[in-house]
Every structure is written in C-alpha cells, then in structure tokens.
Structure 1
Amino acid sequence: MPKISAATVAQHRANRLRDLLDAGRAIVAEEGPEALTLAALARRVGLSRPSLYEYFRSREELVAAIVTDELPDQARRLAEAVHAVDGVPARVEAYLRTVLEIIVDGSHGAVVALSAHALPEPSRRRIRAEHEKLLAPLAGVLIEARVPQPGLRALLIHGSVEAAARTLRPGDVAQSENVLQALLDLVLHGIGVDRKNTRPDYPR
C-alpha cells in the first residue's frame, strides 16, 4: 500500500485531490487552458500517469472537476456578501462588488476558459447547475424587492457585470470603483430614459 500522508486513506485521497485541482488551476492560469493535460498535471505534481488515473480518467473529467470545484466557493462568497448587509440597494451593491472581485482574479478566468471547451453532456449539466447557484443570491434580493422575472433579470445583470469587468485594468482601484458605481446606477435606476417620452417608432 502506498504511504499515506494523513490520518486515514480517505483523507489522504481528499488531500491529494485538492493538490491536483490546485495544480490544474495553476497550469491554466500560467499557460492557458490548452496546456491543461493529464501529462502536464502528472509532471506538475510528480505523480505517475497510472496513479493520476485513479482520480481522473480523461482530460474532460479533470476539466469538469476543476470547474465544479471552483464554482461552489464563488457561490458561497456571494451568498455571504449579500447576507452580511441589510436592504435591497446594499445587497445589490454587495453582490456586484463581490462578483467583480471574483471576475478580475485569475480563478474565474480559468473557469470561463475551461467551460468553453467541449465536454460530455453530464459534465456540462453539472457545470450549468453550479453556475446557476452564482445567481441565486441576486435572484433572492430581486424576489425580496418584488422585481418581476427575478431569475431572468439576475441573469441579465450578471451578464452586464461580466461585460463591465472586461473594462477593468489589474490594480486600478479607481476604475474598478467607477465601474461598480455605473453598474449600481444601471441596475437600480436604469439608464434614465423616460419610456413615455421616447419617439413613437422606438422599439419597446
């Protein structure tokens, strides 16, 4: 039996799996998603390919494991941020601020890049289910505010945040705050156009 580095075999496997997922994320962050292969991961952690197969039988399994491991932690951060404050505006701001923080760090980029790869349908379903949990805290705030179609609107708001994050420069705190305030204004107050005063032929 291989030497274990924990109190139990189960704990040893859990620790090893955590090391493998962390190493996989590091490969993606440093070299891009195409560099993530079982061979590259085995070299990174000093593990033989047969030993690695005990955890992942294919690159697709590895990708799905990294993505579904990352998303629950992001969902937890969002839920904690929203529940730490009171009132709809404050909760919306907490959600937007935390989403921006998540997006501009390297982990979210790795998740997005890996999710774009062709994966078996069961893996894609797992990823979709976990991704929907990211929207749950915001949808809950919209439900509390009695906003119509809260699920759809939460999805649209999240898309706006992802678009806004592409305008950010690493380390530019002032720009990040400007983007956050623009998002808050857009989400809470719209773009300021009175639909009653728009031209008759304007699509509504």
Structure 2
Amino acid sequence: MPKINAATVAEHRAQQRAALIRAAVDILVAQGATAVTPAAVGARAGLARSSFYQYFPSSAALLASIVEEAFTAADAAIAEALADVHEPAARFDAFIRTELHLAAQGAHRPAKALLQADLPPECLARVHELHHRHNAPLQAAITALTGETDASALTAQLVGGTVQAAMTAIEHGADPTQVTDRALALLHHGLNTPARQPHP
C-alpha cells in the first residue's frame, strides 16, 4: 500500500483530492480553463499524472467539482450571515458585506475565472445556475426594499455591477472596509434606503 500522510486512507484521499483542486484553481485563475489539464494539475499538486485519474475522470470533471465547491463555500457564508437577519435593508447590507469580505479573502477567484472561461456548455450552464441561486437572497431583499416586480431583476443586475466593481477594487489592493462602506453608501443612495451601521 502506498505511504499515506493521514490517519486513514479516506483522509489521505480527501487530502489528495483537495490538493488537486487547489492546484487546478491556481492554474485556472492564472492561465484559464484550457490550461487545467491532468498533467499540469498533477505536476502542480506534486502528484503523478496517473494519480489524477484516481480522483477525476477528466479535466471537465475537475472543473465541475471546482464549480460546485466554489459556490458551496460562498453559499454557506451567505447563509450564516443572513441566518438571524430578517429586515430587508439589513439583509441587503449583510449580503454585500459578506460578498466583499469573501472577495478580500480571495474566495471569489475560482468563480470569477470560471465565468470568464471557455467552459464546456454543461459546465457553463451550471455556473450560471449556481450564480443565480447564490444571488437569490440579494434579489429578494431588493424586491422587498423597492417594491419592484418586473424591474427587480434589472435592479439586481445594476447592484451586482457595483458589487463586482468593488470586488475588483479590493482584488487590486484597495482597503476592503473603505470599499465596502463606499459601495454601500452609493447603493443606499441609489435605492433610496437608509444607511445602516456596520456590524461590530
């Protein structure tokens, strides 16, 4: 049996799989989806190419796993932030603060790269599906705040554009707290909602 660096074989396999996904994310962000090949990912993770196929049948399967894991982590963070928040304006703020906090941690890098990548059609469709589901709490808060029905989707897109610009600023080194406060100030003004004090 190959030497393992974990308490159990299952833990070892989980570690190896996680290492392959981390390596693939690094390659994806730096070079794009086409560079995510079994050989490149295995080499970056310090594993033989043959080891890659013990975990993923293809590069497309690996990209699909990255899609799922990227959104699962972000969805969990949003769910936790909104768990005890019920008033629409507070949910709006909590969503955006959490999104920009995740951006400061680099958590959105894989999803952003995937949205820009030349993915297989089924993989790209899944990215858009998960992205829509992830943003559902934000759109619901906007609908509750503005009373819009038909226009709420457009308003959510415009809010999303501001959030994306804020993420880009943070990724380029701007202070996350300053960017978050400024973005929320602009959005409150645009939506005509009262500004709220940040959570301690």
Distance 1:17 1:80, change over 3 A: same
Q: Report the alpha carbon displacement of residue 12 of structure 1 after superposing the two structures with TM.
A: 4.1
Match of 1:33 in 2: 32
Bigger mean CA offset, 141-150 vs 112-121: 141-150
Q: Which has the larger radius of gyration?
A: 1
- Matched residue SS, 2:14: helix
TM-score by length of structure 2 reads 0.75
TM-score by length of structure 1 reads 0.74
- Matched residue SS, 1:107: coil
Distance 1:159 1:178, change over 3 A: closer
Q: Number of aligned pairs?
A: 188
Distance 1:141 1:53, change over 3 A: same
Which of 161, 170, 178 is the matching residue for 2:173? 170
Deviations 1:99-126 (A, max 9, x none): 2222344231332123322222221222
**Long gaps (5+) in structure 2:** 194-200
Match of 2:198 in 1: none
**Long gaps (5+) in structure 1:** 190-204
Identity of aligned residues (%): 32
Distance 1:151 1:2, change over 3 A: farther
* Partner Cα separation in structure 2 for residue 140 and residue 175 of structure 1: 24
Q: Work out whether residues 20 and 45 of structure 1, in 8 Å CA contact, stay in contact via their aligned partners in 2.
A: yes
Distance 1:121 1:27, change over 3 A: closer
* Partner Cα separation in structure 2 for residue 136 and residue 171 of structure 1: 27
Match of 2:189 in 1: 185
* Partner Cα separation in structure 2 for residue 89 and residue 158 of structure 1: 16
- RMSD after superposition: 2.9
Distance 1:176 1:85, change over 3 A: same
